[in-house]
Structure formats: structure tokens, C-alpha cells
């Protein structure tokens, strides 16, 4: 009961700026811990196992993310209606959505894991890889596939913990997962001498431990959300799919783009070009989780207030989100532009001169991405939190697939330089699209606020 009162008070009563620091900062710290581990993962593989293993990891990574995509669809897609149901004081409906979502995630983990394990050699071969390069990529992917039923739930549990007001608990769990995974990876690669499969196993073991730890208080019935006898329905499934589709489409579309980029890079510049792309993705994997941590951590509060009809509070929370996202992105752009050599040398040994030169130039061009990337990112999160999945999906798919593919063709004459510029061009086009969609949404928001004021006057009368 205490967790119930705490989360409702936090979402409904605490001043928006204070709420931002209470909810978003721990969310960003959680994602920072995850990003630091991803960075260490790349450093360990590149430094200990070598350039071929590092390139193989990056070749397999899009399929690894696809492995988590269905779980992400269900986790995010259920979190929004759960928050809105709580705002409407429909606790039983929220508990039913939660229970059904957890069962769906486990089922999806089994199905997708089996498919990826069986298809791994074919998928990697279709990418154009062969020999040791292909073997490394298959090993890495198959470990994730085997562990899929237990690991894919971990990120959804993070959302559910925040809905229950367990913001610091979620943060500590993410930090612990990153430390545990990094420690295991160093042990497996640096001490025991395991191959690239050891890097994947370390991550999966860290996820398994934390997924089970996160489930424990829910199983004991100690939090706001409880497991109950599930009532599945087509309406519930449609609701989850609609709210989760922006993230799902972003994951799938983004991985399709990554697979296409890797295939083009492999043919245009060989393993070095794939490695450079991997370095850019590690840089993005450090910055984007911070943005995601801030925006995603505020979604339960935005959804709760949207369900409760507190539209002015929704707007105030989102102003904090957009401002913080912009500041973080501009600082990131400056760091990437000013220190490309230092960033590149984290992953590449000093004897790979050609790779170092290619990567430093690519990182500088890539830095321009964050001049505008923050705006579409925050806009997509906003649209998702207020149950506007179509608008969020349009931003998501355009950013992850539509704009990048158009720019691949448009910038083709520039060769590899055109591919490195693709990211900044995509971010700019996505920002323009987001401005258009937000302008349309503001009209609806204004109508809702006017209707709420009229109801308040009628009640007062």
C-alpha cells in the first residue's frame, strides 16, 4: 500500500522540475551504467580478441537487438496503458495488463530464440561474411538466442518497477547488472580465455540474475502491481501492440538499416568499414541510452496524468524532458567532435593506422547527428506516453529506416563519407517531421485543456 501511495503522490503532486530530478536522473544514471558496460563490452572484445572478433560482434548485433524487439514491444506497449489505467483508478485492469504482458514476453522469448538459433548461420552468410569472421558472429548470436526466454524480460521489468515508484531500486538493479556483466566478461575473456561466445554469455548471465531479482517483489505481492489470473482479450492485445509498435518498429527498422549498412560497408570498405560503423554505434549506444533513460523514466508520470486529465501537468513535465534532452545532445556533439581520436583508440589498437584514420573522420561527421537528434527522440517519447502510437510510429520508422535509406541513395556518390553523413541527415529530417506532428498535437491538447476547464467550472458551479 505504501508503494501505491508513494507513486501516485509522486506522479500527481510533486512539482514537475522536482519530479524530473527524482525520476529522470536515476533513469539516466541507469542507462549510463548500461551504456558504460556496452562500451566496455566493445573494448574487451576489440582489445582482447582482436579486430575480426570486434567486427563479428557488430555484424551480429542487429540480430541480437531483434531478439529483444518483441519483448520490448510488449514491455513498452503494456507500460503505457498500465500507467493510464492507474491514473483512471482502474487498478484491476492495470494488474491484468501487467500479468498478461509478462506471460507474453516469456512466450516471445522462447519463439524468437528458437528461430534465431536455427537461422544464425544462414543470416550471417547472407550478410556476406565467411570463414572465421562468420563463425565468430554465429557463436555470439546463438548464445543470446539460447538465453532469450530469461533475458528478454529484464528491460520490461525496469518499466514496471518505475511504475510502482521503485525508481531508485530500478537504478540500483541496472547498475548491478552492468557491474556483474562487466566482471563476468573480464573473467571469461581476460582470465579464462573464452572466445567471443564468452562475451555474449557474460551479458546474458548478468541479465538473467537481474531479471529474476526484479521479478521477486512482484511474485511476493509487495508492490503496486500484482500478478493475478490473466484475462487475455483481443482488445488488450491490440492496445499493447498499438502502444508498443513505435519502439518495436524502431528496433526492427533500425536493425534492417544496420544490416543494410553493414552489407554495403563490407563490400565498400571491408572489415575496417564495419568496425568503424561499430565504433559509431558504440558512441550512439552511450548517448542514446541517456536520452532514453530521461524520457522513458518520465513516461509513467506523463501517462498517469494524461489518464487523470491533468493536461497542464503533462505539458510541464514534457518541457523539462525536451530541455534536458537538448542540453545533453549538444554536449555530446561537442565531445564527439573535439575528441574523435581518443574515442576511436578505446576500441582500436595503435597498429591499425588505416582503421584509426578512417574512424576519426567518421566520428567527427557523426557528431553533427546530435545537434538535432534530441528533438525527434523526445517527441517520439511524448507521443507514446499520451497514447498517440501512430505519430510515434511515423517518427520511429522514418528515423530508423525511411530517411536513412533515402539518404543512402542520395549520398551514394560520396562513398563512405556519404554513409557517415547519413546519421546527421536523418536526424535533421526527423526533427523537421517532429515539428510538424507536434504542431498538430498542440491543437488537440488545447481542446482537451479547454474541455477540462469547462468541467471544472461546471463542478464549481
User: What pLDDT score does 5 carry?
Assistant: 41
CA separation for the pair 154, 206 (Å, rounded): 10
Are 123 and 63 in contact, with CB atoms under 8 Å apart? yes
Terminal alpha carbon distance of the chain: 35
**Angle (CA) 79 117 152, round 5°:** 20
**Dihedral, CA of residue 408, residue 410, residue 412 and residue 414, to nearest 10:** -120
DSSP states of 16-81 as a string?
HHHHIIIIIHHHHHHHHHHHHHHHHHHHHIIIII-HHHHHHHHHHHHHHHHHHHHHHHHHHHHHHH
How many residues in the chain? 461
CA angle 14, 15, 20 (to 5 degrees): 90
CB 346 within 8 A of CB 39: yes
CB 135 within 8 A of CB 102: no
The residues, ordered by sequence, that sit 6+ positions from 319 with a Cβ below 8 Å of its Cβ are: 16
Distance CA 408, CA 425 (A): 10
Residue 25 is placed in which grid cell?
A: 536522473
pLDDT tens for the chain, residues 1 to 461: 344 446 667 777 888 888 888 877 787 787 778 777 877 888 888 888 888 888 888 888 888 888 888 888 888 889 888 888 887 888 899 899 999 999 999 998 999 899 999 999 998 888 777 888 899 999 999 999 999 988 988 888 888 888 887 878 888 888 899 899 999 999 999 899 999 999 999 999 999 999 999 998 898 888 888 888 999 998 898 888 888 877 777 777 777 888 788 888 888 888 788 888 888 888 887 788 788 778 877 888 888 888 877 888 888 898 988 999 999 999 999 999 999 988 888 777 656 778 888 999 999 999 999 999 999 989 988 888 887 888 888 998 899 889 999 999 999 999 999 999 999 999 999 999 999 999 888 877 788 777 767 776 666 65
- Asked whether 83 and 303 are in contact (CB, 8 A), the reply is yes
Query: d(Cα 293, Cα 271) in Å, to the nearest integer?
Result: 32
Q: How many CB atoms lie within 10 A of CB 375?
A: 23
The whole-number pLDDT of residue 286 equals 78
Spatial separation of the C-alpha atoms in residues 206 and 175, rounded to whole Å = 11
Task: State how far the Cα of 265 lies from the Cα of 274, in Å rounded to an integer.
Answer: 6
What DSSP character marks residue 14? S
Specify whether the CB–CB gap between 76 and 206 falls below 8 A: no
Q: What are phi and psi for residue 220, nearest 5 degrees? A: -80, -10
By three-state DSSP, how is residue 105 classified? helix
Q: Note whether 11 and 300 are within 8 A (CB).
A: yes
Give the integer Cα–Cα distance in Å for 102 and 235.
Answer: 17
Nearest CA to 400 among 251, 273, 185?
251
What does the alpha-carbon distance between residue 37 and residue 182 come to, in Å, rounded to a whole number?
6
| Grid cell 515508484 in the structure block, residue | 165
CB 296 within 8 A of CB 24: no
> What are the backbone dihedrals phi and psi of residue 193, each rounded to the nearest 5 degrees, phi first?
75, 30
Distance CA 452, CA 140 (A): 54
Write down the pLDDT at residue 456: 67
- What is this structure's pTM? 0.69
Per-residue confidence (pLDDT) for residue 349, from 0 to 100: 63
Domain residue limits, the chain: 2-460
Cα–Cα distance for residue pair 37/48, rounded to 1 Å:
16
Instruction: Look up residue 231 and give its three cell numbers.
Output: 484475462
pLDDT at position 334: 96
Amino acid at each position: 500500500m505504501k508503494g501505491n501511495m508513494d507513486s501516485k503522490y509522486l506522479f500527481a503532486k510533486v512539482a514537475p522540475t522536482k519530479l524530473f530530478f527524482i525520476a529522470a536522473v536515476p533513469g539516466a544514471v541507469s542507462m549510463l551504467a548500461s551504456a558504460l558496460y556496452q562500451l566496455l563490452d566493445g573494448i574487451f572484445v576489440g582489445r582482447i580478441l582482436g579486430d575480426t572478433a570486434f567486427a563479428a560482434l557488430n555484424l551480429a548485433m542487429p540480430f541480437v537487438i531483434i531478439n529483444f524487439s518483441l519483448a520490448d514491444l510488449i514491455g513498452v506497449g503494456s507500460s503505457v496503458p498500465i500507467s493510464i489505467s492507474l491514473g483512471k483508478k482502474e487498478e484491476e485492469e492495470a494488474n491484468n495488463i501487467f500479468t498478461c504482458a509478462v506471460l507474453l514476453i516469456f512466450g516471445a522469448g522462447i519463439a524468437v530464440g528458437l528461430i534465431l538459433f536455427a537461422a544464425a548461420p544462414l543470416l550471417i552468410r547472407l550478410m556476406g561474411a565467411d570463414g572465421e569472421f562468420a563463425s565468430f558472429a554465429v557463436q555470439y548470436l546463438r548464445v543470446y538466442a539460447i538465453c532469450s526466454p530469461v533475458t528478454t524480460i529484464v528491460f520490461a521489468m525496469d518499466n514496471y518497477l518505475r511504475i510502482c515508484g521503485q525508481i531508485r531500486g530500478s537504478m540500483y538493479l541496472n547498475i548491478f547488472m552492468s557491474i556483474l556483466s562487466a566482471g563476468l566478461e573480464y573473467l571469461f575473456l581476460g582470465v579464462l580465455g573464452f572466445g567471443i561466445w564468452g562475451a555474449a554469455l557474460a551479458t546474458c548471465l548478468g541479465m538473467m540474475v537481474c531479471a529474476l531479482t526484479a521479478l521477486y517483489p512482484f511474485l511476493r505481492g509487495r508492490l503496486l502491481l500484482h500478478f493475478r489470473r490473466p484475462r487475455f482479450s483481443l482488445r488488450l492485445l491490440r492496445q499493447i501492440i498499438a502502444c508498443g509498435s513505435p519502439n518495436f518498429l524502431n528496433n526492427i527498422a533500425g536493425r534492417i538499416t544496420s544490416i543494410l549498412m553493414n552489407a554495403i560497408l563490407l563490400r565498400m570498405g571491408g572489415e575496417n568499414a564495419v568496425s568503424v560503423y561499430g565504433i559509431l554505434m558504440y558512441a550512439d549506444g552511450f548517448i542514446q541510452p541517456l536520452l532514453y533513460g530521461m524520457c522513458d523514466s518520465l513516461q509513467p508520470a506523463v501517462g498517469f496524468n494524461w489518464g487523470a486529465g491533468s493536461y497542464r501537468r503533462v505539458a510541464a513535465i514534457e518541457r523539462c524532458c525536451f530541455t534536458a534532452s537538448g542540453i545533453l545532445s549538444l554536449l555530446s556533439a561537442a565531445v564527439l567532435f573535439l575528441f574523435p581520436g581518443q574515442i576511436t583508440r578505446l576500441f582500436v589498437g595503435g597498429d591499425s593506422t588505416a582503421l584509426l584514420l578512417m574512424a576519426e573522420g567518421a566520428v567527427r561527421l557523426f557528431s553533427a547527428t546530435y545537434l538535432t537528434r534530441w528533438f525527434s527522440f523526445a517527441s517520439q517519447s511524448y507521443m507514446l506516453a499520451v497514447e498517440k502510437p501512430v505519430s510515434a510510429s511515423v517518427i520511429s520508422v522514418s528515423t530508423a529506416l525511411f530517411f536513412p535509406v533515402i539518404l543512402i541513395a542520395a549520398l551514394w556518390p560520396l562513398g563512405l563519407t556519404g554513409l557517415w553523413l547519413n546519421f546527421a541527415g536523418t536526424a535533421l529530417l526527423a526533427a523537421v517531421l517532429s515539428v510538424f506532428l507536434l504542431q498538430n498535437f498542440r491543437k488537440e491538447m488545447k481542446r482537451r485543456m479547454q474541455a477540462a476547464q469547462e468541467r471544472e467550472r461546471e463542478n464549481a458551479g
